[in-house]
Structure 1
Amino acid sequence: MEEPVTLDVRGLHCPLPVLKANKALRGMKPGGELVVLATDPAAVKDFHAFAGETGHELLAWGEEEGHLRFVLRRKAEG
């Protein structure tokens, strides 16, 4: 299994964290994991909505060391 890809979008504001995550996920294989580091409080709502709308899975999220951390799994093709 491949190592998760980390995307650091700290300091960026809505909608850039989700847009950059979407671009990163499109370049990954199905089932690949993306770890997103963000600071925008709106990202919590944004990533929940993004997962629901796109079919990518939000595996985990939380706060750590002054930033937000989201773990997403790329959806299967189809």
Structure 2
Amino acid sequence: MIRIDARGMRCPWPAIRLARALREGADVVEITADDPRAGGELASAAAAVGATLSVVSEGVFRVER
């Protein structure tokens, strides 16, 4: 599992970091993001590659292929 700390980054940067990790072969990514739009952006990035997004806790998301 890869963990990404995207706190302080505004969208689309959390989604870009997620997309890069998935492109590099990660099967599970846990990303922490505090931008209010991050959930929607991360969901779109996950769906684009056939992965699923779940919310671990407030501001913490898990993406799995």
Whether TM-score is above 0.5 comes out as: yes
Partner of residue 52 from structure 1, selected from 27, 47, 52: 47
- Matched residue type, 2:39: V
Instruction: Check if 1:8 corresponds to 2:8.
Output: no
Instruction: Check if 1:18 corresponds to 2:15.
Output: yes
Unaligned runs of 5+ in 1: none
Q: Which stretches of structure 1, 4 residues or more, deviate above 3 A after TM superposition?
A: none
Give aligned pairs, total: 64
TM-score (normalizing by structure 1): 0.72
Taking only aligned residues, the RMSD between alpha carbons, in angstroms, comes to 1.4
Structure possessing the higher radius of gyration over alpha carbons: 1
Unaligned runs of 5+ in 2: none
Same amino acid, percent of matched pairs: 30
Q: Aligned-pair distance for 1:28?
A: 2.2
Q: Distance in 1 between matches of 2:16 and 2:43?
A: 13
Moved more, 9-18 or 48-57: 48-57
SS at match of 1:28: coil
Comparing both structures, which one devotes a greater share of its residues to helix? 2
